[in-house]
Chains A and B, each alone.
Chain A
Amino acid sequence: MELFWLLGIPLTGGIFLALWGYRRNAPEINALFSLLTLAMAALLTVRIVEAGPMMVGNGWFFIDSFNVFLVALTAFVAFTTALFSRPYMRIEQEHGRLNATRLRLYHSSYQIFIGAMLLALTTNNMGILWVAMEAATLATVLLVSLYRTPASLEAAWKYFILCGVGIALALFGTILLYFAAEKVLGSGGNALLWTHLNGVKAQLEPTVLSLAFVFLLVGYGTKVGLAPLHSWLPDAHAEGPTPVSAVLSGLLLNVALYAVMRSKVLVDGALGNDMAGTLMMGFGLLSVVLAAFLIVRQTDVKRMFAYSSIEHMGLITFAFGMGGAVTNFAGLLHMTMHSLTKSAIFFAVGHATQKTGTQLMDDIRGLIKTNPTLGWGLMLGTVAILGMPPFGVFASEFLIITTAMHEHPWATPFLLLALGVAFAAIFGKVQPMVFGETELPKLPYQPAQTPVFLHLGLVLMLGLFIPPYLAAWYRQAAHLLGG
C-alpha cells in the first residue's frame, strides 16, 4: 500500500502541476508532493526494517534493505531540493531567466523524474528498470535546457544522445539477460524478475551473462558518469538550473549504479569468478583518476563539482567492484554521504552564483563577507566532500582505501594520488571564493540555507556516530550485495 502511494504521489504531482500550470504557489505544491512522497518512503522503510524483504503486486515489485535505503535517500533529497528550489526558482524568475511556461515544465518534470527514479528502484523486473531509467533521462532532458541558452541546449543534446546510446547498450544487455534466463525460467514476464533470476543465477549460461554484463555496465555506466562515457555529465550539471544539478548528481547517478549492482549480483552468481568486480574496479579507478586531473583545469564552479561527482561515483564503483562485506558497507555509506554532501554543495553554489550572476570561480569572491551563512555552507560542504574528518565522507573513504591497501595494493597509489590532487585543486579554488576580498555589498535577502545545514548536519552526525540500527541496516544491504 505504501508502495502504491510512493509511486502514485509523484506521478499525480507531475500530472497535476502540468495541468494546473504555474501559479503563485506552485513551488509550495511541488514541495508538498515531495513531502508526501518522503512520508510514504519513511513508512515503507519502517515496514521493511521490521518485516524484512517484501514482494508486492504478484512479484512485480521487490523491496529489500538495499533498495529501501536508496528509496529513503531519494525521497529525502528530493524533498530538500524542492525546498531549496522554492526561493531559488522565484529569484530566477525575477531575474527574467525563466517564465511561467518554463516553470510549469520544471515543476511537472521534477515530480515525474522523482517518480521514475522511485519506480526504477522498487521494480523487480529488469526490463521495467530499463524503462524507468530511460523515463528518468527523458524527464530531465528538457530541464537541462530550461534556460534555452546555446550552451544549455548543447548540453541537453549531448545528454540526450549520449545517454540514449548508453541506454540502448543497456537494452541489449537486458535482452541478453532475458535470453539466458528464458532457458532456465521459460519465456514470459517472469524470466526478467530479479528475484526469480537471483534464485537460479547459478544455472544461467556464463558466456551470455558475461557479455550481458559488459553491455549493462557500459550502458548504465554512461549514466553513472563512468569514464570514458562521462562527457555529458559536467555539461548537463553546469548548464542546467542548480536544483536539477543537485538531483542529477545526488540521485540519478545513484539509481544508475543501483541498476549495475543488481546486475552484478546475478553475474557473480552465474560466473563464480570476479570478472564483474574487476571490470567495475577498472572503470571506477579510471574515472577517479581522470576526474581528479580534470578538476584542476576547471574554471566554472558547477563544472568543477560535477567532475567531483564523477570522481566519487568512480570511487563507489571501485568499492563495489572489490566486493566483500566491508567495502560494500563502505560503498553504501559513501553513496549516502556523497548524495547528501553534493546536493548541499550545489544548494550553496546555486545561491552564490545567483547572487554574483556568474559561474566563473574567479569572479566569485568573499562570500563570507557578503553572506556568512552562505560562505560557511560552501566551505563546510567542500571540506566534507574532500573527506576531512569528522565528516562522514572521511569514514567511508577511509574504509575503502584501507581495504584497497589490503586486497589490491596496486590500486592504492592511484587512489591516493587522485584524492590528493582533487583535494588540492578543489580546496585551492573554493578558499578564495569564500575568504577572498570583495567589494560587493551584503546580500539583500537571506538565502534558503536550511537544506544545506540539514544535509551537512546529517553527514557530520554519521561521521561521528552511526546509530546501531542504521549500521545493521547497511550491513544487511551489504550482505545482499554478496559479502
Chain B
Amino acid sequence: MTALAYHLQIVNLLAALLLLISFAMLSQRRVVGLVTLFAWQGAALALSTAIVAWSTGQHHLYYSAAMTLGLKVIAMPWYFYHLVKKLNVNRVVEPMINIPTTMLIGIVLVIFAFNLALPISEMSGTVTRSTLGIAMACVLLAFLMMITRTKAIPQVIGFLSMENGLFFAATSATYGMPLVVELGVALDVLVGVFVLGIFIFQIRETFDSLDLKHMEKLKEK
C-alpha cells in the first residue's frame, strides 16, 4: 500500500465522519449538543484539509485548515456556547418535522447527492474526488436542517454547517479555492456571525424569545 493511499483512507474516514456528524446534527434536540457537533464537524474538516495539504503538497490548504480550526472549531463554538448561556435557551426543542421522518428524507438526499456528484467526480483529477458526493450530501443535509428548525441559533448552525460542506467540496474537487478567495469567504463568515450576534440580541429584546414562530407576521394576505 502506497503512502498516498494510506492518507487517502484517513481522508475517506474523515469524510464518512463528516456525513455521520451531519446526520447527528439532524437528530440533535438540544442547542448545546448542536454546537458541540458543529465544533466536531469543523475539526474533522480541518484535519482532512490538513491531510490533503500534506499528501499533495498544496501549501495554501494549510492556511485553509488553520482558518477552519481557528474559526469553526474554537471561536464560533465558544461564541455560541456563550450566547446560549447568556440567553438561557438550552431547552429541548422539537423540530417541525419529527426526527425519524427527517432522517428518512436525509437518506434520500444523500442518494440524490451521490448521483449529482457522480459526473463531476469522474472528471476530477484530484485524489480525493470520491468524497465529493459526501460533501454535497453534507450541504443538502445542512439545508434540510435549516428548513426543519424554527429557532434562530440552530438555523444559523445549519447555515454554517452548509458552509463546511461547501469547503469540503472545494477541497475534494479542486484542492481548495485560491487563497485570497478563501480568506474573503472566511472574513464574510466571521462578519456574518458577528452580525448574527447583534441580531440575536435584537430579536430577544423585541420578542422575549428566540423562537422564530413569532416572526411569521409578514406574509402575503
Q: Do A and B come from one complex?
A: yes
- What residues of chain A have their CB less than 8 Å away from a CB belonging to chain B? 125, 127-128, 130-131, 134-135, 138, 141-142, 145, 148-151, 153-158, 160-161, 164-165, 168, 171-172, 174-176, 178-179, 182-183, 187-189, 191-192, 205, 207-208, 211, 235, 239, 294, 297, 299
CA distance A183 to B123 in the complex (A): 10
Given contacts A128-B180, A153-B215, A154-B215, contact A179 B174 (CB under 8 A): yes
Cβ B166 vs Cβ A168 within 8 A: yes
Given contacts A142-B199, A164-B159, A175-B174, 14 further A-B contacts (CB under 8 A): A130-B184, A131-B184, A134-B185, A138-B195, A150-B207, A157-B212, A178-B170, A187-B178, A189-B178, A189-B179, A205-B123, A207-B119, A211-B120, A297-B220
- The answer on a CB contact under 8 Å between B159 and A168 is yes
Bound Cα distance A336, B166 (Å): 35
Contact of A145 among B202, B214, B221 (CB under 8 A): B202
Which of these, B143, B166, B187, B199, contacts A156 with CB under 8 Å? B199
Q: In the complex, what's the smallest C-beta–C-beta distance from B118 to chain A, in angstroms? A: 11
Q: Which residues from 132 to 186 on chain B have a C-beta closer than 8 Å to any C-beta of chain A?
A: 139, 143, 146, 152, 155, 159, 162-163, 166, 169-170, 173-175, 177-181, 184-185
Q: Which residues of A contact B100 (CB under 8 A)?
A: none
Name the interface size band of chain B: 35 or more
CB of B20 closer than 8 Å to a CB of A: no
Query: Given A157-B215, A165-B159, A297-B220 in contact, is the A135-B181 Cβ separation under 8 Å?
Result: no
Question: Which of B146, B177, B188 meets A135, CB within 8 Å?
Answer: B188
Does any Cβ of A come within 8 Å of B17's Cβ? Answer: no
Contacts of A160 in B (CB 8 A): 195-196, 199
Residue of B146, B180, B207 with most chain A CB atoms under a 10 A cut-off: B180
Interface string of B186-207 (1 = CB under 8 A from A): 0110011001101100110111
Cα distance A82–B79 when bound, in Å? 36
Q: Residues of B contacting A205 with CB < 8 Å?
A: 123
B binding-site residues for A, Cβ under 8 Å: 58, 119-120, 123-125, 139, 143, 146, 152, 155, 159, 162-163, 166, 169-170, 173-175, 177-181, 184-185, 187-188, 191-192, 195-196, 198-199, 202-203, 205-207, 212, 214-218, 220-221
19 cross-chain CB contacts under 8 A: A125-B181, A127-B184, A127-B185, A128-B184, A134-B192, A138-B188, A150-B206, A150-B214, A150-B217, A151-B217, A153-B207, A157-B152, A168-B159, A175-B173, A176-B173, A179-B173, A192-B178, A205-B123, A294-B220
Complex interface: chain B residues within 8 A of A172 (CB): 139, 166, 169
Chain A residue nearest to B191 in the complex (CB) = A138
Distance in angstroms between the alpha carbons of A128 and B188 in the assembled complex: 11
- Name the contact of B199 in the complex, choosing from A127, A135, A141 (C-beta under 8 A): A141
Q: Which of B124, B159, B178, B215 contacts A191 (CB 8 A)?
A: B178
- A157-B215, A164-B192, A297-B220 are contacts. A131–B187 as well, Cβ < 8 Å? yes
Q: How far is the CA of A164 from the CA of B163 in the complex (A)?
A: 10
Q: Report B47 CB to chain A, min CB distance, Å.
A: 21
| A131-B187, A208-B120 given; A189·B218 CB < 8 A | no
**Contact, CB under 8 Å: A161 / B159:** yes
Residues of B close to A208: CB separation below 8 A? 120, 123
Closest chain B CB from A212 CB (angstroms) = 10
B192 engages A138 (CB within 8 Å) = yes
CB-CB under 8 A from B220, the residues of chain A are: 294, 297
Of A125, A168, A182, the contact of B163 (CB 8 Å cutoff): A168
Min CB gap B50→A, angstroms: 18
Interface contact B178-A161, CB-CB below 8 Å: no
Q: Report which of A131, A138, A153, A191 forms a contact with B203, defined as CB distance below 8 A.
A: A153
